Amino acid sequence: MKRGCFLNIFKIVDRANIELLVMESIKEDRAFTDITTQMCVPEEVEGVANIIAKENGVLSGIQIAEVVLQNFGVYVVEYFAEDGENIKEGNRLAKVKGKLRGMLSAERTILNFIQHLSGIATYTQKFVKIVEKYNVKILDTRKTTPGLRTLEKYAVLCGGGINHRFDLYDQIMIKDNHLSFMKDDFTVIQRMKNKYPDKKIIVEVKDIEDIEKILNYPVDRILLDNMTPENVEKSIKLINGRCEIEISGNIDEKNIELYAQKYPDFISIGKITHSAKALDISMKVENV
């Protein structure tokens, strides 16, 4: 998939799963028993509202609005922006119409999804732009909000990043705790390849001394974890194109370019999903 292109969430994330997540969020908010709105707004009143960006960023999750609203007798009249699009403060993103009660009761659920996912997309794009001149790809991780992984990884795509493994069966990743238990017995790599020939094998490395030993086995990628830029450079020279190279560990906006300048294939960043700030987006009801 082309990074940074406009995306349709329903072509990437199963709509039935989105509907389940939405319904759980509606129940959590007890939005069908919104006592304030029910006392303030007569049931028959119709209304129109606009979803509006209150700051610049990258849009993600806008179509979730229709999934939420379908439960409240409200529908989206028109979308003015697409997921993956750079939006500016004041931009109108969507127009909705229907029962005013439903609109007000659904508002927070809609905005929680769009703000959260757009925040991830925006933060991802920030890293992507820093490293793109080095042809380095930004990966996400499994450091996601429980239950929201598919949506958060979709948001990473909207920001121009690439999805790492989705779950523990997706790829084989041998990490420090595995190696500690195995006492650095790398022969397991060959056994893994024999048992799961179609699975990519990634091995985490903290010490340069281990690289040559690992390269005696069929690894697809070496993950250089928590290394200094100097040790990353030494490791990349030692690997010398024999497998893919990924860098991870304590990488942020201030130091990522130092690592990108060493020309790894990938840099994986947990922060883009677990520490992204929600993008400020609001819903404004037109005069009724």
* Domain ranges within the chain, ordered by starting residue: 9-126+276-285, 129-274
Residue 174 phi/psi, 5° resolution? Answer: -90, 115
pLDDT of residue 184: 72
Residue 36: how many CB atoms within 10 A of its CB?
Answer: 9
Range 59-84 average pLDDT: 96
In this chain, the answer to whether the domains covering 9-126+276-285 and 129-274 adopt an identical fold is no
The residue among 218, 223, 226, 232 whose CA lies nearest residue 203 is 223
Catalytic residues: 108, 143, 175, 204, 225
pLDDT of residue 8: 93
Over residues 179-192, the pLDDT tens digits come to 888 877 888 899 99
Helix, strand or coil, per DSSP, at residue 253: coil
> How far apart (Å, rounded) are the C-alpha atoms in residues 74 and 132?
41
> How far apart (Å, rounded) are the C-alpha atoms in residues 125 and 241?
27
* Residue matched to tokens 């595995």: 178
Over residues 93-126, the pLDDT tens digits come to 999 999 999 999 999 999 999 999 999 999 999 9
Architecture of domain 129-274: Alpha-Beta Barrel (3.20)
The residue among 35, 15, 30, 32 whose CA lies nearest residue 73 is 32
How does the average pLDDT of the chain come out, rounded?
A: 95
Range 150-167 average pLDDT: 97
Cα torsion angle, 87, 92, 97, 103, sign: positive
Give the CATH fold of the 9-126+276-285 domain. Answer: Aldehyde Oxidoreductase; domain 3 (3.90.1170)
Range 129-158 average pLDDT: 97
Record the tokens describing residue 169, joined without a space: 């069966």
> How far apart (Å, rounded) are the C-alpha atoms in residues 163 and 154?
8
> How far apart (Å, rounded) are the C-alpha atoms in residues 193 and 216?
13
**Cβ proximity of 36 and 69 under 8 Å:** no
Strands lying side by side in the sheet with 266-268: 137-139, 266-268, 244-248, 221-225, 201-205, 172-174
**Cβ proximity of 236 and 262 under 8 Å:** yes
Report residue 287's pLDDT band, with 50, 70 and 90 as the boundaries: low
Report residue 128's pLDDT band, with 50, 70 and 90 as the boundaries: very high
pLDDT at 6 over 90: no
Beta-sheet strands, E only, within 27-146 = 46-53, 57-58, 74-79, 86-87, 92-99, 137-139
Give 270's Cβ-side CA count (13 Å radius): 10
Residue 242: how many CB atoms within 10 A of its CB?
Answer: 11
Tell me the angle at which helices 15-29 and 149-158 cross, rounded to the nearest 10 degrees.
Answer: 110
pLDDT of residue 67: 97
Range 138-158 average pLDDT: 97
Residue 124 phi/psi, 5° resolution? Answer: -60, -45
Record the tokens describing residue 127, joined without a space: 């890293």
pTM (predicted TM-score): 0.94
The residue among 11, 279, 276 whose CA lies nearest residue 161 is 276
Over residues 201-217, the pLDDT tens digits come to 999 998 898 899 999 99
Over residues 12-46, the pLDDT tens digits come to 999 999 999 999 999 999 999 999 999 999 999 99
pLDDT at 288 over 70: no
